[in-house]
Amino acid sequence: MPVPLLNCDMGESFGNWALGLDVQAMPYVDCANIACGFHASDPDVMRKTVALAVANDVRVGAHPGYPDLVGFGRRSMACSPQEVENLMLYQIGALEAFCRAEGTQVSYVKPHGALYNDMAKDLELLRAAMRAVVRYDRKLPLLVMSTANPQPIRELANEMGVTLWFETFADRAYDAEGHLVSRRLPGAVHHDRDAIVDQAVALAKGEALTAGDGSALRLPADTLCVHGDNAESVAAVKAIREAFQALDDA
């Protein structure tokens, strides 16, 4: 069974404010989720990050979010499904322009932050996101949160004609339903590198995780989200890449 693709949020700097270690993390990932200017990034950062992805043979994904630079797209907004469809189309198209300039193309779509979480709770917003992908390019996969019961999302995707990539996390704790434990709760985020790598390998092998209530949890894992925020997180990404390479060689 192929190991999950490693995806990482990138291109989050803005003007004079630098965020993330994109140069250090890029060689170890398969997919770069590039911010499209609404929650982070600007035209210079977008083009630079696309060029960096091309240089490292990494797939470029559009990472559209709510128009919320101040809140980094982590605050829910009262957007209608039509507004969600339009803001996603706008951002995908903006990133595509830089992809064309650098000789590549948008390869998938991963909504960001509060928009991503709101889609997981509201099927009409999820339908709007799928509609945006279909109307832009129905061949593009859409990343969605993996849960213990992915069937309703699969059924909607089949109805809409959308390819899904189910996303998992190596550094986050899960509840019994397969939802991420709130960051406000203790133990929600794993910081130990060995624990992060062990969870990544378990997901790659299709093994059960231990949910917060002690129950066994199995999650579909087409792609695994990793982070390049600091030197320690980049080291964890490198360790996961090495572990996945060992699985491929086994």
| H or E element at residue 237 | helix 231-249
Q: Which pLDDT score, from 0 to 100, does residue 250 have?
A: 73
Residue located via tokens 């990932």: 29
Per-residue HEC secondary structure of 158-205 comes to: HHHCCCEEEEEECCECECCCCCECCCCCCCCECCCHHHHHHHHHHHHC
Query: What are the structural domain ranges in the chain?
Result: 5-249
Give the rounded distance of the alpha carbon of 151 from its chain centre: 20
- The candidate with the shortest Cα–Cα distance to 157, out of 130, 183, 195, is 130
Tens of each residue's pLDDT in the chain, 250 residues:
689 999 999 999 999 999 999 999 999 999 999 999 999 999 999 999 999 999 999 999 999 999 999 999 999 999 999 999 999 999 999 999 999 999 999 999 999 999 999 999 999 999 999 999 999 999 999 999 999 999 999 999 999 999 999 999 999 999 999 999 988 888 899 989 999 999 999 999 999 999 989 999 999 999 999 999 999 999 999 999 999 999 988 7
pTM: 0.95
User: What is the rounded CA–CA span in Å between residue 188 and residue 247?
Assistant: 27
CATH for 5-249, options being 3.20.20.370, 3.40.50.720, 3.40.50.150, 3.40.50.300: 3.20.20.370
User: What is the rounded CA–CA span in Å between residue 128 and residue 134?
Assistant: 10
Q: Which pLDDT score, from 0 to 100, does residue 1 have?
A: 65
User: What is the rounded CA–CA span in Å between residue 208 and residue 157?
Assistant: 25
What is the number of residues in the chain? 250
User: What is the rounded CA–CA span in Å between residue 31 and residue 8?
Assistant: 6
User: What is the rounded CA–CA span in Å between residue 235 and residue 231?
Assistant: 6
Cα 64 to Cα 33, 45, 57, 76, 91: the distances in Å are: 9, 15, 22, 14, 6
Instruction: Give the chain's end-to-end CA distance (angstroms, integer).
Output: 11
User: What is the rounded CA–CA span in Å between residue 150 and residue 29?
Assistant: 25
